[in-house]
Amino acid sequence: MNNKNKMRKTLRSLMAGAGIVGAALTSGYTYANGPALKAGQEYMVVANYPNQIHVLDLQTDSLLKTCKVPGAYGPGVLQVAPDKKTVYMLTNHYEDVYGINVDDCSISFHTTFSNKQKYLRTKSLFSMALSPDGKELYVMHNPTKLNRDHYRVQDSYLAVYNTADGKDAKPVRTFPAPRQVTVMATGKDGGLYMAGADIYKMDVKTGNYDVHLPSRNWERPLYVQPDVLNAWPIQTPSKDFTILYTTARFQDEKQDLATADWIYGYLNVDLETGETETTDFGPITEIYFTGMKSPKDPNLVYGVLNRLAKYDVKQQKLIKAAELDHSYYCIAMNHDGSKVYLGGTFDDVAIYDADSLEKLGNIKLPGGDMAISTSQIFVR
Amino acid sequence: MNTIIRSPLAFAISAALATTALPASAQEDAVKIVQSKCLACHTEESHTKKNEGAPQWSRISHQRKTPEGWLMTIGRMQMMHGLQISDDERSAVVKYLADRQGLAPEETADYRYAMERRLDTMEAFDDSFFEEMCARCHSGARVGLQRRPAEEWEHLVHFHLGQWPSTEYQALARDRDWFPMAINDMVPKLAKMFPMDSDSWDHWQAAPKPEFVGQWSFAVHQPGRGDGSGLMTVTKQEGDQYSVSVDGQWADGTPLKGSGSAIVYTGFEWRAEIDLGGVITRQVLAASKDGMNLRGRVFEAAHDERGMEFTAAKATTGNSQIIAVYPQNLKAGESTEVTIVGAGLKGRVSMGNGVSIEKVLKRSYNSVTVLTKADADATTSANAVTVGGVNGGQFAVYKKVDSVKVQPAFTIARVGGNGGSTPKVQARFEAEAWGAGPDGQSGTDDDIRIGYLPANWHVEPFDEAAKADNDVHFAGRMDAASGVFTPGNAGPNPERRMSTNNAGNLKVVASVKDGDQTLQGDGQLIVTVQRWNDAPLP
């Protein structure tokens, strides 16, 4: 326990910064005009203040269009639907999901979690995923009952929505769920992976869930409990659900932290097969907010925060790192694995060559800070 | 989500404890205000035996807090829950609640730094669970300055997670089942650590309270400015309000004069606002239980890092004490004027072995200024200073300085200004000289504190990273003579690596000249970002 505490203290100031940010209010909104997306072409979506979604054309690495979203910004978690046309955004201070048709910027779906009549204020901390057929949306709800002179925190639960239910959608099913879940993803079999204390898998028909891949409760001899935070549910071209961890491994049973190895690694669920991995990929030399496997070479892992770094997983070695103009939180890669796109914080997306880590350019976004938005790359 | 920090109200609130007049029949009025303003959400309860006759309200009547604590609570009701209340009304309620449901003097003793706005305090708690669960986001003092029964601590946990849902996801929360632990483990612990019912509070309520009216002989010490002393005259106004005049001088003769007003909360918590030569200052002081001393901190209202230590003795018959001696030291063979401050200072002045009193230059009931001379062959020693039969002063004579410590050894400054809403926060340092003591080795238990000496100041990179990022250039400027560090401008700096702001990690170096030798001491200064959430209690 003591050793675990030491570990936490070392890490704590580094990872806590991804918390909740303030928000600017939009007064009214208009739908941007812009071309519809073209089939077969690769795009990236990312959100920023004052609550808008940008579509970037990755053929030309330029801004294609901007869709305004009602309400206040934050956190800007995006999920691209299987139709590759509808983009779902968790926003309005973690209390609403909008489904936006990025062809014409129209709103196809909206739900607000809170219920004023029942004095319930409900938020979702980055937890949103879509069924493989796009017909259902899964959102973790964290409600608080606002009584007249005191609050009562309620149990967390999973809410299931029909995406066809339009602009006043209500949950069609709810299931009890563990607290502290952040990002989620669905497998090919429709099972819902929920990353919390451990990575759980839920049957979205019955609500039954169990631990699919342990993290807080892993049993790896000589390893301390890992520190895991993920606020960016990145939909990867390789269909991997990847979450970084940091940990320490003692040399022997004496458990001497002074001689322990400090390690970066990832937890991974293959969303096609459900296969899991717990893989160390290198020593900790700096912190990454997000990381992902290369779509073209699963032995390569990239991580970003203050540098963009590339690791050889088998050799557990840093291959290369690029200095950045400023911090970036969220990583994305194109489908052939040739380019890395960095979003989050400030108002520009930076593009790097995935092999050389040379900078290829920036795409400046209209509006303000992306903050902790999730950027997603997809092929229409 | 950070509504507190964005609201101009937050700034107004932190300034509100000593400024507003209370209505005449304050208690009755305060009850009426609570009844008209608070019962939209709170409910009136049946009277308990303990509070016979006094109205009881849900939540409100089941907590005890400092004046700052009550101010924060009502401020939060304004900012988050739509309470409409005037500043005068709020003052009346704070006064009423702090008096009836305050903390006893000893209940505040460990945490006064928070009320005194010593915002560079490095808190350390033996109880790591308390530290991780509570003092991870705000000061532990904010918790330690409240008293609640278990039920109310439980309400507080629900409020925290309900209001800030990310609480259970953050570092040192996501490693554990935070919410069940907060409810099942932390709540009983807090109810035991900081209970609503206490003997201290019962005794304090029944005890005779200090009398503030009269004259107070005070001494101040401000890093970068030095020592001063004078008389503070307190005159009674309505209720527990007072008018205050300050008449004194700094050691260099500069006047230290001003006037203002004060309110006393809970019988001993003195909060004053004094215009000192055009600078608005606040006094956050506590009276000793016997009413013979006032102690605490005085700071500029607009720059609370610019503060002075304040000690006062009631200038009244029967109170004889020494509260300050300045300067703190004298080198062998040299002479200097020394001022001894206190009350009831009659009789012969003694500065201890090796120091002779050449002449009494000035003398009053509250202070004596003497010309002293240290023997040429005096050895380094920390001497007791007495005036007649009054003890309590300290004065060092030294042959040579053997080591120098920078005080504080670690502190922070904050970038600011540059068009932003938050001013720069300076840091101030002093060079503390030490003698090696009988063993001739510095850094051992027998070292003798000589005290503060003038120094020449500069900053260096604290480590390789600071050097590579040129923190010395960007983070601010040290004033070589005063030891006052003024940080750089706020905001991203395009000239810096990754356009980072003007933060820095600096080694603060003091060079003290002592005869032919120059000694150096160093400390650490972190220049960091603005404090956005600047609540009355950090």
Q: Is the pLDDT of residue B15 over 80?
A: no
Beta carbons of B59 and A150 less than 8 Å apart: yes
Cβ count near B469 (within 10 Å): 19
The A-side interface with B (CB below 8 A) comprises: 4-5, 8, 11-16, 19-23, 93-94, 121, 123, 125, 142, 144, 146, 148-153, 179-180, 182, 197, 216, 225, 227-229, 306, 323-327
A8 pLDDT above the threshold of 50: no
Is the pLDDT confidence value at B525 over 80?
Answer: yes
Instruction: Find the residue in A nearest to B129 (Cα).
Output: A5
Say whether pLDDT at A359 is over 90.
Answer: yes
**What kind and span of H or E run contains B81?**
helix B67-81
CA B44 to chain A, closest CA, distance in angstroms equals 12
Q: Do A125 and B165 touch (CB under 8 A)?
A: yes
What are the DSSP calls for B359-388, one per residue?
Answer: EEEEE-SSEEEEEEEE-TTPPPEEEEEEET
Name which of A332, A351, A333, A344 is nearest A369 in CA terms: A344
Q: Which residues of A touch B164 (CB under 8 A)?
A: 20
* Cβ separation A144–B161 shorter than 8 A: yes
Domain coverage including residue A12: 2-379
Nearest chain A residue (CA) to B3: A22
**Over 50: is that where the pLDDT of A107 sits?**
yes
Give me the pLDDT at residue A29, please: 39
Mean predicted lDDT score pLDDT of chain B: 94
Say if CB B217 and CB B229 are below 8 A apart.
yes
Q: Which chain A residues contact residue B499 at CB under 8 A?
A: 325-326
Q: Tell whether the model's pLDDT for residue B194 goes beyond 80.
A: yes
Q: Reply yes or no on whether the pLDDT at B255 is more than 90.
A: yes
pLDDT at A158 over 90: yes
Whether the pLDDT of residue B32 is over 80: the answer is yes
Query: What pLDDT score does B25 carry?
Result: 72
Q: How confident is the model at residue B40 (pLDDT cuts 50, 70, 90)?
A: very high
Please tell me the predicted confidence (pLDDT) of residue B213: 98
> Which of the four pLDDT bands, split at 50, 70 and 90, describes residue B239?
confident
Cα gap B321→A43, rounded to integer Å: 79
CB nearest to B174's CB, from A4, A13, A180: A180
- CB pair distance less than 8 Å for A151 and B158: yes
Compute the count of residue pairs across chains A and B with CB atoms less than 8 Å apart: 96
Tell me, what's the ipTM?
Answer: 0.91
Number of Cβ atoms within 10 Å of the Cβ of A48: 25
Identify the band that residue B475 occupies on the pLDDT scale cut at 50, 70 and 90: very high
Task: Round to whole Å and give the CA distance between A258 and A3.
Answer: 10
Return the pLDDT at A17: 35
CB contact under 8 A, A179 and B177: yes
In the prediction, which pLDDT does A20 show? 28
Neighbours of B504 (CB within 10 A): 27
> Mutate which of B148, B166, B498, B532 to test chain A, going by most A C-beta atoms within 10 A?
B166
Q: How confident is the model at residue A24 (pLDDT cuts 50, 70, 90)?
A: very low
In Å, how far is A333's CA from the nearest CA of chain B? 23
H helix runs in chain A, sequence order: 2-15
**Average pLDDT score over residue span B393-414:** 97
Q: What is the mean pLDDT of residues A199-223?
A: 98
Contact B155 A151 (CB under 8 A): yes
pLDDT above 80 (res B117): yes
CB within 8 Å of B121: residues ≥ 6 apart: B113, B114, B139, B141
Residue contact B42–A149, C-beta within 8 A: yes
pLDDT for A33 beyond 50: yes
Asked whether the predicted pLDDT for residue A203 surpasses 50, the reply is yes
Is the CB of B59 less than 8 angstroms away from the CB of A325? Answer: no
Q: Is the pLDDT of residue A7 over 90?
A: no
Q: What is the mean pLDDT of residues B62-74?
A: 98
Query: What mean pLDDT is predicted for residues B169-197?
Result: 97
Question: B172 to chain A nearest CA, in Å?
Answer: 7
CA distances from A368 to A23, A78, A94, A344, B383 (A): 11, 17, 18, 11, 64
Q: What is the chain B residue with the closest CA to A245?
A: B175
Name the residue among A58, A35, A60 with its Cα closest to residue A46: A58
pLDDT per position as a tens digit, A63-92: 999 999 999 999 999 999 999 999 999 999
Residue range A258-296, pLDDT digits in tens:
999 999 999 999 999 999 999 999 999 999 999 999 999
- Count: domains in chain A: 1
Q: Which residue numbers of B have CB closer than 8 Å to A's CBs?
A: 1-2, 5-6, 41-43, 58-59, 128, 136, 155, 157-159, 161-166, 168-172, 174-175, 177-179, 492, 498-500
H/E run at residue A360: strand A359-364
CATH number of the domain residue A307 falls in: 2.130.10.10
8 Å CB contact of A5 and B179: no
Chain B nearest CA to A82, separation (Å)? 29
Burial of A236 (0-12, 13-18, 19+ CB in 10 A): buried
Which chain B residue has its CA at the smallest distance from A125's CA? B166
Question: B50 falls in which pLDDT band (50, 70, 90)?
Answer: low
pLDDT at position B7 is 47
pLDDT of B533 reads 87
In chain B, which residues have their Cβ closer than 8 Å to the Cβ of A179? 168, 177-179
Complete edge-to-edge strand list for the sheet that includes strand A77-80: A77-80, A86-91, A96-101, A106-112
Domains in chain B and their CATH numbers? 9-203 (no CATH), 214-314 (2.40.128.120), 321-398 (2.60.40.10), 403-528 (2.60.40.10)
| Test the A interface: residue of B56, B174, B187, B469 with most A CBs within 10 Å | B174
The answer to whether B265 and B99 have CB atoms below 8 angstroms apart is yes
Sorting pLDDT into bands at 50, 70 and 90, what band is B16? Answer: low
Is the pLDDT at B268 greater than 60? The verdict is: yes
Residue to mutate among A8, A142, A180, with most B CBs inside 10 A, is A180
Round to whole Å and give the CA distance between A250 and A256.
Answer: 6
Q: Which of B1, B41, B165 is facing A142, going by the closest CB pair?
A: B165
3-state SS track over B285-298: EEECCCCCEEEEEE
Say whether B175 and A94 touch across the interface (CB within 8 A).
no
Residue-wise pLDDT tens digits, A315-341: 999 999 999 999 999 999 999 999 999
Q: For residue B21, what are its two tokens?
A: 């007049």
Mention every residue, 6+ apart, whose C-beta is less than 8 A from residue B319.
Answer: B292, B313, B343, B344
- Quick check: A12 and B43 CB within 8 A? no
